[in-house]
Amino acid sequence: MRLPLLTNRQAAWLLCASVVALCAPVAAHAQATAPQPETSQEATASNRPDDIIITAQKREQTLRDVPQSVSVVSQAVLERQQAASFQDYVALIPGLSLQQPAPGNARLVLRGVNTGGVSATVAVYVDDVPFGSSSGLVNGSGLAADLDTFDIARIEVLRGPQGTLYGASSLGGVLKFVTNAPDTKALVLRARGGVETTKGGEASYNGAAVVNLPLGDTLAIRATGYYRKVGGYVDSIGTAGSLVENDINGNEVYGGRVSALFTPTRNLSIQLTANVQKIDARSSSGVETDPASYQPFYGRLSHSLFEPERSRTDYRIYSGTIGLDLGFAKLTSVSSYATLDRRFLFDETYVGRVAGFGAFCPATLPLCNFVNRQQNRIRKFTEEVRLSSNGTSTIDWLVGGYYTRETGLISTHFNVDDPANSQPTGPFALLQTTGLDSKYREYAGFANATWHITDRFDLTLGGRYAHNSQNGQQNAETLGTVATFAPLNSSEDVFTYSIAPRFELSKHVAIYARVAKGYRPGGPNVVSVPFVPGTPLTFKSDSTINYEAGIKADTLGGALSVDLSGFRIDWSRIQLFQLINNTGVNTNGGKAISQGFEATITARPTDGLVFAANAAYTDAHLTQNTDLLAVGGRKGDALPYTPRVAVNLSGDYQWVLGGTVKAFVGGTVRVVGEQITDYDPGYAAANGRQRRIPSYNVVDLRAGLDFGKATLEIYARNLTNARGIVDVSAIQSGVGSIPNGAVSTSFIRPRTIGLSLTVGY
């Protein structure tokens, strides 16, 4: 089903008409007292910035008391800006960028710490549970958990390495989903639904609901469910004999969360939680474009698809948290078991035909398809036990231990398929299969302490010792010939630390400095030397050291809030993915630095009116050459997918129309500066530079009515239909891999107009 499409002018008039209709009573009600809307990046249920409570240091603290750079996006902001996924809210967080060619396939980048390797540089947490791989053997860098944000209390983003409290793979920072816990005091019933239309695409729908049910004074259950159907907007138009089909890149997201809280005594709490989410997607959002200008070929957003692509990404997180108040300290145990499964079918028909694989087609088929069926699987158990002081002494302290056991699998099958039924066919139906089994174990002990030297001066120190061991084994079969690879192992011992003094200039102004180290585990290269000469047996961990200083202030009775930070990150032994004798392996390169500043400023000049601005300047570049033939990164090259400048400006106004009815309007302008893609040695050698991504601007508008128990909102995202680029596929950038020499480019979603309704009790 398609809803009527709007031109840019029609869309603008529609939103403007809504704004004018709502703004008409402003003069009469400008002096009326109305609650301020939660629209800044640091707004919570209270509009006082000093009331923002976060858990960045694994204890509840106000945002201003934490001596490091942290951004907070509240539930109210997420809902007001219709931010359900990474692409929706990444722009709200200074220094955070995203590379995402398809749903379920996302790489997060903080402060430019990225060279396109296979391991993640940003750790993702759900409450106190790490989710995703700590290993470099399961392609974890592109599997960041894109969880739906409905009924999320807030998102905390901790910049710079967080190795002391969060451990492996947090050398760039941490993104933390903080969920709403069950409440034994109040019954909550709330539902949300909406519909959208996207320029050139099909309609989208979404619905979600939450219930919080107190079952006496000591027990409560909270359950959340959601569903999103996201319409496609990329077509396959028959190029080079491909399919003719519209909207091939649609997807569905559905799942939920159930949590039970039991407090049998005042000092004991037990919380059990289960999170489940599925992302069912069709083709990627890649569009065939000119390799120089990135303008779409054929005058439209198209992708040559010979066999229908599909993928399914499943998230499962089961956790139990026990808290026991011992009087002098609190004992906390967090146990979790999490799974991540991603299965996808990738169409490689055009590549296969160009490469001459047609000889493997059955004699009965004039043409056949070539597809890559792949599975990524992660199983992860974690246990963390920590003891933290009660906060009544001169020194606040925390000590703890951590253990994780992870198994991973990458399995691929390269098949010859019958185009009539999309099933393997013929004597060479399975051209090649490969498998990689891996195991990762880690033990760690950590401690953190804040010494309140005076009423105004604190010093926070932290340290973590970790030991990890890994092993992996690869198998392969090509046209019936089995290759035997020897199992390989690795182990490492790592120490990370943090030092952070903080000084209060006044009750509402604090300055801080921080030096911290983070790391990312190395591991074995499972392709053995006899098969690929020159392959190192293992690759080592890389590390970052962050130097940071900042100021956090709110002045004029809370009318103005300022959060400024400057940083420099030294990155050494950078992990890289490179080709050795045409085989991809993990290696260590040289060094890089990332330096710059971030700013978040929120102004509340009058009741109901909020202006917010965040900006980041990031100069992230290599300070040594990589292997120019295998990787292509040269000294001075920027680090991939890191805009040097990114700015987000927003304004929101809310006022009383009459009685309990309020109206609100708002808008956001985003500016994303020039970036580069992943390093491409062939392109760099031919052009003397890396492939660049041009800057772009995005405009969003929103307006609505709040009736107390119901809220109706109309909104437009990407009003001007900007074509901001979020991925240029390195795999598909070679000559002949896409018809007519195109490259595969993924853009932000075209202009989308939506309507949502939220009701609650």
Q: What is the pLDDT of residues 467-497, one digit of tens each?
A: 999 999 988 999 988 887 888 899 999 999 9
Does residue 2 lie in a domain region?
Answer: no
Range of the domain at 175: 8-760
At 682, which CATH number? Answer: 2.40.170.20
d(CA 405, CA 442): 7
User: ∠37-39-45 over CA atoms, to 5°?
Assistant: 60
- As a whole number, mean pLDDT of residues 505-533 equals 83
Give the number of other Cβ atoms within 10 Å of residue 191's Cβ. Answer: 16
Question: Nearest to residue 715, comparing CAs of 723, 728, 705, 727?
Answer: 705
Burial class of residue 207 in the structure, from the number of CB atoms within 10 Å of its CB (0-12 exposed, 13-18 middle, 19+ buried): middle
Residue 546, strand partner residues: 516, 569
Q: Does 385 score more than 60 pLDDT?
A: yes
d(CA 108, CA 726): 11
Question: Nearest to residue 596, comparing CAs of 549, 632, 538?
Answer: 549
Burial class of residue 672 in the structure, from the number of CB atoms within 10 Å of its CB (0-12 exposed, 13-18 middle, 19+ buried): buried
Give the pLDDT of residue 46: 35
Does residue 3 lie in a domain region?
Answer: no
Question: Nearest to residue 138, comparing CAs of 466, 475, 523?
Answer: 523
Burial code of 684-716, b = ≥16 C-beta within 10 A, e = fewer? Answer: beeeeebbbbebbebbbbbbbebeeeebebbbb
Give the pLDDT of residue 51: 63
User: Which token pair is 201?
Assistant: 């695409």
User: ∠643-644-649 over CA atoms, to 5°?
Assistant: 80
Could you tell me the CA-to-CA distances from 208 to 83, 223, 225, 430, 525 in Å, in that order? 14, 11, 6, 42, 44
Does residue 21 lie in a domain region?
Answer: yes
Any idea which of 41-55, 78-92, 126-140, 218-232 has the lowest mean pLDDT?
41-55
- As a whole number, mean pLDDT of residues 375-389 equals 97
Tell me which of 586 and 693 has the higher pLDDT: 693
Give the pLDDT of residue 102: 87
Q: What percent of the chain stands above pLDDT 70?
A: 91
Q: Does 22 score more than 50 pLDDT?
A: no
Residue 451, strand partner residues: 395, 459
Instruction: Give me the sign of the Cα torsion angle 136, 142, 148, 152.
Output: positive
- As a whole number, mean pLDDT of residues 464-468 equals 97
Give the pLDDT of residue 50: 45
Question: Nearest to residue 255, comparing CAs of 227, 280, 274, 285?
Answer: 227
Residue with tokens 């301020």: 36
pLDDT tens, residue by residue, 201-260 = 999 999 999 999 999 999 999 999 999 999 999 999 999 999 999 999 999 999 999 999
Question: Nearest to residue 222, comparing CAs of 270, 268, 274, 148?
Answer: 274
Does residue 1 lie in a domain region?
Answer: no
- As a whole number, mean pLDDT of residues 168-196 equals 95
Contact 512, 554 (CB under 8 A): no
Q: Give the SS3 label for residue 231.
A: coil
User: Which token pair is 361?
Assistant: 């087609």
- As a whole number, mean pLDDT of residues 267-283 equals 97
pLDDT grade for 4, boundaries at 50, 70 and 90? very low
Percent composition of the chain: helix, strand, coil (DSSP 3-state, to 5): 10, 55, 35
Could you tell me the CA-to-CA distances from 438 to 136, 408, 473, 561 in Å, in that order? 10, 5, 7, 48
Q: Give the SS3 label for residue 376.
A: strand
Residue 104, strand partner residues: none
Tell me which of 226 and 50 has the higher pLDDT: 226
Q: Does 78 score more than 50 pLDDT?
A: yes
**DSSP assignment of 267-328, as one string?**
TEEEEEEEEEEEEEE-S-SEEEE-TTT-PBGGGS-B---SS--EEEEEEEEEEEEEEEE-SS
Give the pLDDT of residue 582: 65
Give the pLDDT of residue 576: 87
Any idea which of 66-80, 524-538, 542-556 has the lowest mean pLDDT?
524-538
User: ∠81-84-90 over CA atoms, to 5°?
Assistant: 75
pLDDT grade for 557, boundaries at 50, 70 and 90? confident
- As a whole number, mean pLDDT of residues 283-294 equals 93
Count of domains for the chain: 1
Q: Does 3 score more than 60 pLDDT?
A: no
Question: Nearest to residue 77, comparing CAs of 87, 89, 69, 85?
Answer: 89
Q: Does 631 score more than 90 pLDDT?
A: no
d(CA 498, CA 516): 4
Does residue 562 lie in a domain region?
Answer: yes
Q: Identify residue 254 by its one-letter amino acid code.
A: Y
Give the pLDDT of residue 95: 92
Residue 131 dihedral angles phi and psi, to the nearest 5°: -130, 125
pLDDT tens, residue by residue, 640-692 = 999 999 999 999 999 999 889 999 999 999 999 999 999 988 889 889 999 99
Does residue 742 lie in a domain region?
Answer: yes
